[in-house]
Structure 1
Amino acid sequence: MPEHGGRRLLLVSTNYAPEQAGIGPYATQIAEHLAADERHAEVHVLAGMPHYPAWRTDPAYRGVWRAEEERAGVLLHRRRHTVPPRQTAVRRALYEASILAHGLAAPPRMGRPDAVLAQLPSLAGGVIGARIARRYGVPYVPVVQDLMGAAAAQSGIRGGGRASAAAAGAVEAYVLKRARLVGVIHESFVDKVTAMGVARDRIRLVPNWSHVARPSRPRAEMRARLGWREGRIVVLHSGNMGLKQGLEVLVEAAREAPDVHIVLMGDGNQREHLRALGAGLPNLHFLPPAEEAEFPDVLAAADVLAVTQRASVLDMSIPSKLTSYFAAGRPVVASVAEQGGTAEEVRRSEAGVLVPPENPPALLAAVRKLAEDPAAADALGSRGPAYVDAHLSREAGLARIAGLLDEALEGRPARPRGARG
């Protein structure tokens, strides 16, 4: 046991609370879970300024260069960085460079950590974590939520093309090869990580979990509050409105089916583009991100929950929205490629249906089929919470992360690799 009487840990994650979308909630729950463990004397987090998914700095942090906070027992160190309102390869590179420069110039003021964790796809966060771990000679454990090199190669970010993908992939390989152990949230990442030079026996499966509460209000009550009248089909997409999502398919679905109510809830750099594309459509509505306390009830009030991606995106990661959708108990329609993490998770859960990406008629056909048989739709949706209980509970997910850290520190597996329990 270290001299300070317990483990001192550092988590590097660009995103953190109060961000409620993407990987921010996972970073927050990991840090707070570790801080509540009596074996850990201190848990520090190096994070950016809250900005996601709006890609605008939270007003409370505008003009702030550095901030030190304590949240739920976690010592939080924030560092300023650029926030590009539109995503291009150059802007993304500047964003990562600003995170890297400020993080290395002003690392957290703390004693020697016993281990450093980091969340990818932040390239800068991965490099910072690896550098700090190397400086102190302690285990470094990155968790791969997504791979930026693969995303760039699939043209999810405009401009830069193959050069940006190759550069991102090289940085990811540098980061991952320096890890004691590598956590991945889905099996589809294993081959990608091994191709970067990481031995397969150093990779552990640590699936994400459902980080939201279960719905608590009657659906009819919430629908009335939202103005969604009974008998109207409501299709809801919640979360980031970015290029990767290809949400134009839902705008076109609204155009083709005036009787179907399409709701886009959230924020992102494509929100205004989508709003302009759907101008004049009375059945297309935009909502701001729901408050945390109401979010599960808003999801449950919809008839169908949609997850979409462009056809060019070979999805390896699992959108965080999907675990929330399952917990809401409504059927999912996934307009995504047949291969990849999202499609595989929908098939495993048996809580939704798959349709080809960027195909409004196919999406609408699936929605209408569910609407025509409410009992079957309810039965399909009910499998989501059951899947969460069996495989995606918060307790199990956090235990997997804690086990990954224990193994890196103590040199012995805390549980069988690949367990999804």
Structure 2
Amino acid sequence: MSDGERHRPFEDRRLLVVSTNYAPEVTGIGPYATQLAEHWAQSGARVRALTGMPHYPSWQLDEAYRSVWRTVEVRGGVGVHRRRHYVPSRQSALRRAAFEASVLATGLLAPPPGRPDAVVSQMPSLAGGVIGARIARRHRVPYIPVVQDLMGAAAAQSGIRGGDRAAALAAAAERYALGRATLVGVIHESFVPRVTALGVDPGRIRTVPNWTHVQGPTADRAATRARLGWDPATPVLLHSGNMGLKQGLEVLVDTARLAPDLRVVLMGDGNQRDALRARAEGLPNVDFLEPVEAGEFTDVLAAADVLAVTQRASVLDMSVPSKLTSYFVSGRPVVASVADEGGTADEVRRSGAGVLVAPEDPAALLETVRKLAADPVAAGELGAGGPAYVARHLSREAGLARFDDLLSEALDGRGSTRR
């Protein structure tokens, strides 16, 4: 293979990326779908993305798109085809089903024109997985769903109202989408048993971990703390990202209630933000910050003393938070209040950059945070494991190269396409 072929391996290939989330969303799955599509465009492919209207993590339609029903944009060399859909401001199984149904209807009724050479979808959403499977089947081309979360497991484990009823329907949709795949990507090996249980041959599953999609911190840490109004003598425990049901962020508010000398910062948005604000009423040591721009994101993370990732005790094998890749690059120690047997715990252990505590246990969380705050040297050494882990395993170059291999394998016919 020539140097040119190595650098532009998908020259003139027509690729379709299906992802309900896409830029300008800056958290969750959107940045990964965007960087992947733009990477393939830079590799010589003609890439189109079928996506929804920006709404995550606030679960409110972006103001710039409120009057838009259907549009085509060009971002980073990618033709981005947006379709309008319902956005539920509050989560329940019924509202989530309506969201998925609206994404499915608009995506199937108005897909991007032309025949792709391969279709790649990000799951969730369920609708995106089904849309990708249907389009690939229509054109008889390879189909690669990438499992970021398992919605059937999520419905059962996350505590969403009506989740038990929704779990079977979600699993059926996942079985449909995954069963028609040429190859299936999963972002963590802990997903493999669940995906296999949905009828996928283990020989068709490939692990393609998410990468760190943000740059490391560059600002002076003390200056950032001063700008944010954080007292140098007060330990700061920060959570960044989606404020949803599965995160179980109540444990952080309850930890703040136990420790008036600790500042707890919740940065981000989500459908549980208002409920968390109500729970934190009267607690002067709980702050809610809006999401910050990408250029200062890791500077804010690095200014904290400890970074928190939390999940309900029932969450085991349905997701691995994308925030971990950003946490690791920031160089601060991570405290994970999660189930010991889940994929999130596995990733924190593997990184060597964090400590595990029992989920939904504010006293245990507080004890660990206090120990780290009392020994800055040890905390710094623990946090330093994050950037080292990123350099070894989670660089953008390594992550995108794994997706290149996955796509090449599917295009070369080495997978087993299901019709």
TM-score bracket, normalised by the shorter chain, equals over 0.9
Tell me which of 85, 90, 93 is aligned to 1:86. Answer: 90
How far 1:412 sits from its partner (Å)? 4.4
In 2, Cα distance between the equivalents of 1:369 and 1:397? 34
Partner of 1:202: 204
In 2, Cα distance between the equivalents of 1:313 and 1:402? 31
Partner of 2:357: 355
| Residue identity in the other structure for 1:142 | P
How far 1:156 sits from its partner (Å)? 3.2
| Residue identity in the other structure for 2:117 | D
Partner of 1:44: 48
Partner of 1:77: 81
In 1, Cα distance between the equivalents of 2:160 and 2:129? 20
Q: Is the 8 A contact 1:316 1:342 kept in 2?
A: no
Partner of 1:116: 119
Residue-by-residue CA offset, 1:208-227 (whole Å, 9 max, x unaligned): 11111000011011111111
Tell me the secondary structure at the aligned position of residue 266 of structure 1: strand
Cα RMSD between the aligned structures? Answer: 1.3
In 1, Cα distance between the equivalents of 2:321 and 2:383? 18
How far 1:411 sits from its partner (Å)? 2.9
In 2, Cα distance between the equivalents of 1:5 and 1:219? 44
| Residue identity in the other structure for 2:18 | V
Partner of 2:143: 140
| Residue identity in the other structure for 2:59 | W
Residue-by-residue CA offset, 1:92-114 (whole Å, 9 max, x unaligned): 000000000011111112x2100
How far 1:63 sits from its partner (Å)? 2.1
In 2, Cα distance between the equivalents of 1:121 and 1:60? 24
Point out the more displaced range, 217-226 or 375-384. Answer: 217-226
Change over 3 Å in CA distance of 1:171–1:105 after alignment to 2: same
| Residue identity in the other structure for 1:361 | A
Give structure 2 stretches of 5+ with no counterpart.
Answer: 1-9
Residue-by-residue CA offset, 1:195-220 (whole Å, 9 max, x unaligned): 11111110001011111100001101
How far 1:160 sits from its partner (Å)? 4.5
How far 1:5 sits from its partner (Å)? 7.2
| Residue identity in the other structure for 2:17 | L
Residue-by-residue CA offset, 1:379-403 (whole Å, 9 max, x unaligned): 0000000000001111000110111
Q: Is the 8 A contact 1:130 1:140 kept in 2?
A: yes
Q: Is the aligned partner of 1:307 residue 2:309?
A: yes
Q: Percent identity?
A: 71
Give me the TM-score of the superposition, normalised by structure 1.
Answer: 0.95
| Residue identity in the other structure for 2:273 | R
In 1, Cα distance between the equivalents of 2:245 and 2:381? 33
Partner of 1:408: 410
Q: Is the 8 A contact 2:151 2:318 kept in 1?
A: no
Give me the TM-score of the superposition, normalised by structure 2.
Answer: 0.95
Partner of 2:99: 95
In 2, Cα distance between the equivalents of 1:305 and 1:68? 38
Partner of 1:29: 35
Residue-by-residue CA offset, 1:323-355 (whole Å, 9 max, x unaligned): 100000000000000011110001001101000
| Residue identity in the other structure for 2:29 | I
Q: Is the aligned partner of 1:159 residue 2:162?
A: yes
How far 1:155 sits from its partner (Å)? 4.2
Tell me the secondary structure at the aligned position of residue 54 of structure 2: coil
Give structure 1 stretches of 5+ with no counterpart.
Answer: 414-421
Q: Is the 8 A contact 1:186 1:316 kept in 2?
A: no
How far 1:6 sits from its partner (Å)? 1.4
In 2, Cα distance between the equivalents of 1:155 and 1:351? 26
Residue-by-residue CA offset, 1:288-318 (whole Å, 9 max, x unaligned): 0011110010000000000001112214421
Q: Is the 8 A contact 2:154 2:318 kept in 1?
A: no
Q: Is the aligned partner of 1:269 residue 2:264?
A: no
| Residue identity in the other structure for 1:273 | A
Q: Is the aligned partner of 1:127 residue 2:133?
A: no
Change over 3 Å in CA distance of 1:382–1:192 after alignment to 2: same
In 2, Cα distance between the equivalents of 1:249 and 1:340? 18
In 2, Cα distance between the equivalents of 1:113 and 1:315? 33
In 2, Cα distance between the equivalents of 1:339 and 1:45? 35
How far 1:134 sits from its partner (Å)? 0.6
Question: How many residues are paired up?
Answer: 407
Partner of 2:253: 251
In 2, Cα distance between the equivalents of 1:271 and 1:195? 34
Point out the more displaced range, 376-385 or 220-229. Answer: 220-229
